């Protein structure tokens, strides 16, 4: 090689440890690990997931069944005995006024419902939105107009009214086509409506992003080596979309948890004696004067979960974006 | 010996201003309108012209990124104009492109190593084991630190990024590289470094270049042959020695006078300033396309389009009144 080229790479001494090619996923993981807040949020989320999965085991273990009525924990008016809503060894977070059901037990079971709806809703809306958005952005013309119109129409619907109005007939329809009756059918309905109205935002975001990315020269560069469409989509485009997808997913997940709560509050979705955070919140509002702790517990829990997801989402977004890396390699 | 790359009468018209109502194009941009040229192995052809004259379109046609409307591209004796599938895939190894904008041409989510490895992965030219080794070799070849393998594009300067782009274009060991204004986006001081690098690479690896630029000064050192484009057509072309010494087309002369040259006293040329804008390529002037800005234009220029004619010294010029020195 010639002199000029040699001169310029003086920094590259041969004694250095051999450089290995790290995958972008590995580099992202390293960046995530360095973000303390994100890592702790991940722990919190994992904790909730753990509780949700093992709720039946845990409640049996600690003898805090969410369904057992405990009259002895209530006074004559049906209010919990003792301070803070009846906190005691038997009932670590107190009992439900009127029934005496254990709040910790109900909270644990509620986490199952909230997280299930949150995760499934997010996975389905995100993948539907991502697919339709990419399709619209990549296939201009007819496919694009079709998807864009569909999105506009969906947004034009008064969604909440529709969700309330369609609750009964659609749940019954679900049951008639073989979805197990009762709370399972109601949950399916919630996930269904979340998806029908939720994909639009994701799809629009992705479409806009794809439209601008496809004009970038690195796409043409890949084409000049003979890249297949699969390579262009999965290796060139998708890595540039992950940040958006992750932000969207981590924001919509706590959103769906909250939507489940509000729908249960409105009487759509699960019904007591089933436990969900929405049912608990709706119920506790009736007692907030005599038993404020009851309102506080599901409220604060919901808040912690939502915050943990958002902080974790921030961390993930920074991790997949190489530009956020402030540390010198 | 036949040239490495020979193209004949390339035409590419873009439809513009699609009317919403009829879904029919309302106009045509004649981006490339009958371009013929050839490049010898290991040599450099410089293509010069103002913004919008169709240089990038030509580059995309040559590298088969867009299909041409008519004309033919012959690479190494094989007609690649209509090639598809496996045949095209194989040809892509031989002809590569370097882009103008080092910020847009590298995927921001891929590390430098990954960017350079991609062509080899797609074309499966090296084994997984040798890949990292080869990438480091390429990084070194273009004057980058192989230790920077895992760095991302944003951690490099513009010049360094362009080096990554160059390394990537070298990865498949092409016979010819089309460089579309590879230094326009860079600082003047860095331009020289990149130009030197390209020259060194050409000398060491024997690669042919089609080097696109918007002014003549950039291609002066590097080009063996130059072609001057105006509104989708070549107006003058020939060996750069002859053209730089004796331009005959008024447009070339105008571009030439914009080139800063260190000359003393009496030999100094008067500077020709081009007035007016480049006419719209949707509706180019009749006859000679340059006539709206030409100070020598006569009636015939409006009526008759000048063909590329041999000037008598191996160069061609498309003007009714070429200034051929005796
Ligand atoms: N995909 C396209 N669709 C429609 N018109 C196009 C398209 N690509 C290029 N053009 C038009 O073709 C003409 C030539 O464009 P091109 O990009 O080749 O010019 P250029 O010489 O590379 O200019 P620059 O120096 O600015 O890069 C321009 O008028 C441009 O508007
Ligand atoms: S043909 Fe006429 S208008 Fe065109 S460049 Fe020559 S003199 Fe000028
Ligand atoms: Mg260009």
pLDDT one-digit tens code per residue, B6-39: 999 999 999 876 655 656 666 788 899 999 999 9
- Coil, strand or helix: which one is B99? coil
Nearest-Cα distance to chain A for B229, in Å, is 23
Q: Is B153 in the pocket of ligand 1 (CB under 6 A)?
A: no
In this predicted model, what pLDDT tens digit does every residue of B251-284 receive, in sequence order?
998 888 766 555 454 445 566 667 777 788 888 8
Helix (H) or strand (E) holding A199: helix A183-213
Angle at B75 between CA B71 and CA B77, to 5 degrees: 100
ipTM: 0.87
CA distance B308 to B310: 7
Task: Tally Cβ neighbours within 10 Å of residue B277.
Answer: 10
Task: Determine whether domain B5-94+174-317 maps to CATH 3.40.50.300.
Answer: yes
Cβ pairs bridging A and B (under 8 Å): 126
CA distance B8 to B68: 11
Among all bound ligands, the one having the nearest atom to the CA of B307 is 2
Tell how strand B176-180 and strand B233-239 pair up.
Answer: unpaired
Q: Where are the domains of chain A?
A: 48-64+101-320
In this predicted model, what pLDDT tens digit does every residue of A231-266 receive, in sequence order?
999 999 998 998 888 888 887 888 888 888 888 878
| A22:B204 CB<8 A | no
Question: What angle separates helix A242-265 from helix A183-213, to the nearest 10 degrees?
Answer: 150
CA distance B12 to B17: 16
Q: Which residues pair with B5 in a beta bridge?
A: B39, B75
- Which residues have C-beta under 5 Å from ligand 3, the single-atom ion? B 56
Nearest-Cα distance to chain A for B179, in Å, is 12
pLDDT at residue A296, rounded to an integer: 86
Residue nearest to atom 3 of ligand 2 (CA): B291
Give Cα B22 to chain centroid, integer Å: 36
pLDDT at residue A233, rounded to an integer: 92
pLDDT at residue A10, rounded to an integer: 37
> Which stretches of chain A score pLDDT less than 70?
1-24, 70-78, 80-94, 100, 272, 324-329
| B150:A21 CB<8 A | yes
Phi and psi torsions of B153, nearest 5°: -50, -40
Using a CB-CB cut-off of 8 Å, the residues of chain A touching B123 are: 225-226
Task: Tally Cβ neighbours within 10 Å of residue B90.
Answer: 14
Superfamily of domain A48-64+101-320: MetI-like (1.10.3720.10)
Residue nearest to atom 22 of ligand 1 (CA): B56
Q: Where are the domains of chain B?
A: 5-94+174-317
Q: List own/partner pairs for B275-278 with CB under 8 A and 24 or more apart.
A: B278/B50, B278/B51, B278/B52, B278/B53, B278/B231
Nearest-Cα distance to chain B for A145, in Å, is 13
Burial A230-265 (b: 16+ CB within 10 A, else e): ebbeebbbebbbbbbbbbbbbbbbbbbbbbbbebbb
pLDDT at residue A13, rounded to an integer: 39
Q: Radius of gyration over alpha carbons of chain B, in Å? A: 21
> Which stretches of chain B score pLDDT less than 50?
263, 265-267
Nearest by CB to residue B200, choosing from A4, A9, A11, is A4
- Coil, strand or helix: which one is A227? coil
Any alpha helices (H) in chain B, and if so which ranges? 55-62, 85-91, 112-123, 128-141, 158-170, 188-205, 216-220, 240-245, 250-257, 299-303
Best of A219, A225, A243 to disrupt the B interface (most B CBs within 10 Å) is A225
Q: Is B54 in the pocket of ligand 1 (CB under 6 A)?
A: yes
Report the residue among B251, B295, B319, B324 best suited for mutation to probe ligand 2: largest number of ligand atoms under 8 A from its CB.
B319
Torsional sign, CA B58, B64, B68, B72: positive
Nearest by CB to residue A216, choosing from B104, B200, B204, is B104
């Amino acid at each position: 090689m010639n002199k000029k080229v040699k001169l310029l790479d003086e920094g590259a001494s041969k004694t250095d440890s051999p450089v290995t090619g790290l995958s972008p996923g590995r580099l992202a993981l390293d960046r995530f690990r360095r973000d303390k807040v994100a890592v702790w949020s991940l722990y919190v989320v994992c904790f909730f997931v753990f509780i949700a999965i093992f709720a039946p085991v845990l409640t049996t273990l600690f003898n805090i069944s969410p369904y057992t009525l405990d009259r002895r924990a209530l006074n004559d008016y049906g209010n919990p005995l003792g301070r803070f809503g009846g906190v005691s060894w038997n009932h670590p977070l107190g009992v439900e006024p009127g029934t005496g059901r254990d709040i910790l037990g109900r909270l644990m079971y509620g986490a199952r419902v909230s997280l299930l709806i949150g995760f499934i809703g997010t996975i389905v809306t995100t993948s539907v939105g991502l697919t339709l958005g990419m399709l619209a952005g990549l296939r201009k013309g007819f496919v694009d107009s079709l998807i864009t119109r569909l999105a506009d129409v969906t947004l034009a619907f008064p969604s909440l009214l529709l969700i309330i109005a369609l609750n009964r007939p659609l749940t019954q329809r679900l049951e008639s086509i073989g979805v197990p009756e009762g709370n399972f059918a109601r949950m399916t309905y919630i996930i269904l409506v979340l998806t029908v109205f939720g994909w639009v935002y994701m799809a629009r975001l992705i479409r806009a992003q794809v439209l601008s990315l496809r004009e970038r020269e690195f796409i043409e560069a890949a084409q000049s080596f003979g890249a297949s469409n699969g390579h262009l989509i999965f290796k060139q485009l998708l890595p540039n979309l992950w940040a958006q997808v992750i932000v969207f997913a981590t924001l919509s997940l706590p959103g769906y948890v909250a939507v489940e709560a509000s729908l249960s509050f409105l009487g759509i979705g699960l019904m007591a004696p089933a436990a969900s955070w929405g049912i608990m919140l709706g119920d506790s509002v009736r007692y907030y004067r005599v038993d404020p702790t009851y309102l506080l517990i599901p409220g604060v829990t919901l808040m912690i979960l939502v915050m943990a997801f958002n902080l974790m989402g921030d961390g993930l977004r920074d991790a997949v974006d190489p530009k956020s890396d402030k540390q010198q390699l | 010996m036949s040239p490495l790359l020979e193209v004949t009468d390339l035409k590419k018209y873009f439809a513009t201003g699609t009317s919403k109502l009829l879904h029919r194009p309302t106009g045509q941009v004649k981006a490339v309108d009958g371009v013929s040229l050839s490049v010898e192995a290991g040599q450099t052809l410089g293509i010069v012209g103002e913004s919008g004259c169709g240089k990038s379109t030509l580059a995309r046609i040559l590298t088969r990124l867009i299909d041409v409307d008519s004309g033919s591209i012959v690479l190494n004796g094989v007609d690649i104009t209509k090639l598809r599938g496996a045949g095209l895939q194989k040809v892509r190894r031989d002809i590569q492109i370097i882009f103008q904008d080092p910020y847009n041409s590298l995927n921001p989510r891929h590390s430098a190593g990954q960017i350079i490895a991609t062509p080899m992965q797609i074309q499966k030219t090296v084994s997984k084991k040798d890949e990292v080794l080869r990438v480091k070799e390429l990084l070194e070849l273009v004057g980058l630190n192989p230790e920077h393998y895992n760095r991302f594009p944003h951690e490099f300067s513009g010049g360094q990024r362009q080096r990554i782009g160059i390394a990537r274009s070298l990865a498949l060991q092409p016979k010819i590289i089309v460089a579309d204004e590879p230094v326009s986006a860079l600082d003047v001081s860095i331009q020289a470094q990149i130009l030197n690098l390209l020259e060194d690479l050409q000398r060491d690896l024997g690669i042919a270049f089609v080097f696109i630029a918007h002014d003549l000064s950039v291609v002066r050192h590097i080009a063996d042959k130059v072609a001057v484009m105006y509104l989708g057509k070549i107006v003058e072309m020939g060996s750069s020695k002859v053209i730089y010494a004796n331009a005959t087309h008024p447009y070339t002369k105008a571009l030439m006078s914009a080139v800063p040259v260190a000359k003393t006293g009496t030999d100094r040329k008067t500077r020709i300033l081009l007035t007016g804008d480049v006419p719209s390529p949707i509706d180019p002037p009749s006859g000679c396309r340059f006539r709206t800005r030409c100070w020598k234009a006569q009636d015939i220029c409006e009526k008759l389009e000048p063909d590329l004619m041999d000037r008598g010294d191996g160069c061609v010029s498309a003007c009714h009144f070429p200034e051929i020195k005796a």
